[in-house]
Structure 1
Amino acid sequence: MKLLRYGNAGHERPGILDSNGKVRELGSVVSDINGKTLSDESLKKIASLDINSLPLVTEPVRFGACVNNVGKFICIGLNYADHAAESGVAVPAEPVVFMKATSAITGPNDNIIKPRNSTKLDWEVELGIVIGKHASYVELDEAMDYIAGYCVINDVSERNFQLERPGGQWDKGKGCDSFGPIGPYLVTKDEVADPLNLNLWLKVNGKTFQNGSTDQMVFGPQFLVHYLSQFMSLQPGDVISTGTPPGVGLGQKPLIYLNEGDVVELGIEGMGVQKQVVVNAK
C-alpha cells in the first residue's frame, strides 16, 4: 500500500494511492497517517478494503509529509562507503547517529527555505524507515517486524552550519525549517521486496548528481532498527533516514551548493518523486 497525506499545510487528510495511481480518501477509515495508523491491526484493516471504491480526490493535490506526529527523526551519517570516500572520511565501524528537529519536516514538494547566513546549502536523497510499533532492545533477526514501511527523504543540509561553525554539532546544519521533506508516500514493507536493492537519484536544475543504489549501504534497515533500539526506544511513527549515496554538493569539484531559484528533484524506485524549489528565508 502507498499511504499518504494530502491538503493544505496543517490541514492534511489521510489518503491512499489506488491501482491506477489516483488518490483516494481514507478519512472514513483512519483519522490520520500516524503511529496509531501503523499498527499491524490498522494496516490489515486498510489492506482489506476495496481501495478503488473509496472516494476519489479530484481537486489538485498537495502532498504533506506521509506520516504525522513524528516523535523522533533519527538520521544515519556516512552510511554509504562511496559517500564516506567523497567526504574524505573512513567508513564508520558503527552507525553515526544524529537527530533532525521534527520542525524541519515538510511535504515532499514544499519549498526548501535557505536559512539566513547560509552559504553551503546541500542535498541528500535518502531512504526513510517508518517504525510501526514500540521497539526496545530488538534482536537483529526480529527487527524487520518493527518496520511499517519506507519513504523518500531529502536530508537537506547546511554544511557551514554543520561542519564549520564552532561547537562541532551536526544538528545545527540539519534541523533548520524545511530541511526534512518526507514522502510523497509511505510504502508499506509488503510492497518492498528488498530494501537493499533500490535505485535512488537526485537532480538539481535537471542535472543528475546522485544516482545510486541502497545495495551500497554499510548498515541496512534491519540492522539500524536493531542497533538504535539498544540506545533508545523507537515509537510508532518515528522516522529513520538511512544515509545518502555519493553526489552531494560537498563532494563536487568545484563545490556546488543550492541558491534561491534552484530546483531539486529526487526519488526512490517504487516510492515516488519529490520536487522542491529553493527560496530565501524572510
Structure 2
Amino acid sequence: MRPGKKRKKNSVLIETHCHLNDRAFAEDRGAVIGRALAAGVEKFVEIACAAPEWEPARSLCAAWPGKFACAYGLHPEYVKDYRPEQLPELEKFLADPTAAALGEIGLDYWWEPARAEEQRALLEAQLPLSVKYRKPVVFHARNGKEPGQDAYAALFDSLKKNWSYFPPGRRHRGVLHCFSGSCDDARAAVDLGLVIGVNGSYTYPRNGDLRETVKKIGLGSVVLETDCPYLPPQSARGRRNDPSFIPEIALAVGDGLGLSAALVAEKTSGNAVELFGLQG
C-alpha cells in the first residue's frame, strides 16, 4: 500500500460484515460507528449469529436508522448450544424489516471438527429459511487443521443439494465471508451465485494466494468487510478491528489490482447493494 494515499471523498463504502454488538465495543460503540461514518462508510451489515445476539442487533438497527441492516442466523461454532426451538425464533427475526440476510451460517472444521455432521445438519436446517423469507445468505467456511477436513467442499455439496434461493432480478444470492479458500473454491462459489468477502486479512504478507484469487475472479464477485472486532489490517495487527478500516482495505485491494480505491468502492458497494437489497 502506498503511504499517504487518500481515498477520494466521494467514494461510498459499505461494511458487509461486522460484529459491533461484541463486548469489545461496549464502552465506545457509538464513537466507533461515528468514526466509520466520517471515514466514508455509509452502510453496515451487522451479523447476529447466535440467539442471544438477535435482539441486540435489531436494537442497533433501530438506533441508527438508514445505516444498518442485519443478518440473523446460527453460526456453526455454536452448534453445541443449538436447540430446535431456536429455529422458530430465528424465523421471527428473518421476518423483521431489519433483516437483510440469513447468516452467518456454514461449516467450521477448524474449531469444531468433531461436530462436522452436527454442523452440516444445522446448516441444512437453516437453508430453507433463505427461500421462505427470500433472503440471501452469509456463509462461513473454514477448513480444518488435518488433511481431508475440507469445509468448502462440504459446504458447496450442501448448497447444490439443499439450496434453491434464486432471487429474481439479482445476480448474487449469497456471500462467502472472510474467504480463505483456494482459487478453485472461489470459482466454485461464484458458479453458485456467491460473492466473496474480503477483509483485513487481504493485507497480510502471507496471503498472496488471496490477492491472486481476487485478481482472477475480479471485482464483480467481491464485497468488502472487516469481521470486526477480529482480523484488523496489517497496519493494525494486535489491535481491535473496526469498520473505519474499510477504506484501508479498499485501498489495498485497489493497489493489488492496479485500480483506484474509488473504483473498488464503487464496484464492491454496488455488489453489496444488489446482494442485500440495501436502500439508499
TM-score bracket for this pair, using the shorter chain length: under 0.3
| TM-score normalised by the chain length of structure 2 | 0.25
Higher normalized helix content (fraction of residues): 2
| TM-score normalised by the chain length of structure 1 | 0.25
